[in-house]
Structure 1
């Protein structure tokens, strides 16, 4: 597949400095997965992850952008923090785990879905009205 055949997700300027761009993709089994694109200091400037904490499959971006601090994505339920560039967590209930990566590419200031395991479905979440259970995190946003 050439870059021109890949799905354009956003411009780099659309990815907030402390937040995410949310979209839904379909994996090889036909299962819908929410995916977040987050800023990263490493080249190419963004990374993409399946939108769920590894601890309890809780949505990191519940439709308003993922909470971020100091280059880390914060789970709003228990406060585990995942490195935005590597997806690794070294604290909280998700310590020792890594988010599921979704490959993206950046070309001419635009972010493209580049993962052969996923096909773009639509912008936004699977069910934007489902915010999930309330937070038990000690962190405030």
Structure 2
């Protein structure tokens, strides 16, 4: 585990929503947001961007909505499987979320993706990008 960075604990990843973290792309230096979600056998990591319009965040800072183990884009109504990232319903059906490799050991969640480094818990500080949409999808 010496080359991996602990980003949170398994206990801090709720079953019914997501945890938001910030990572940095090693090659470009660009900060990106990512989400963690609980699975039956561990934790999954995904970049925090809907595949319909990739400037739209799934988790806007208070956890992404989830239903029956799927992450929901509140703007467009897309559903993404927590296990695979596959969009099963909505305007980007068949697309996949971009994975962020994470591992768990002894109750801790580690960033194990060679393309990213951990920056902080929560969203990108000072980012005032509007990540909403004018979609009229409602739940």
TM-score, length-scaled by structure 1: 0.89
Structure 1 counterpart of 2:123: 125
More helix by share: 1
Q: Aligned partners of 2:76, 2:113: CA distance in 1, in Å?
A: 29
Asked whether 1:56 is paired with 2:57, we answer no
Q: Aligned partners of 2:61, 2:130: CA distance in 1, in Å?
A: 8
Decide whether aligned partners of structure 1 residues 137 and 70 sit closer, same or farther in structure 2, where only a CA change above 3 A counts.
farther
Tell me, yes or no, if the aligned pair for 2:33 and 2:47 is still in contact at 8 Å: yes
Distance apart, 1:126 and its partner CA: 1.1
Runs of 5+ consecutive residues of structure 2 not aligned to the other structure: none
Q: Aligned partners of 1:55, 1:13: CA distance in 2, in Å?
A: 31
Runs of 5+ consecutive residues of structure 1 not aligned to the other structure: none
> Hey, which bits of structure 1, 4+ residues long, moved more than 3 A?
127-131
TM-score, length-scaled by structure 2: 0.90
Distance apart, 1:136 and its partner CA: 2.8
Output the aligned Cα RMSD. Answer: 1.6
Tell me, yes or no, if the aligned pair for 1:76 and 1:137 is still in contact at 8 Å: no
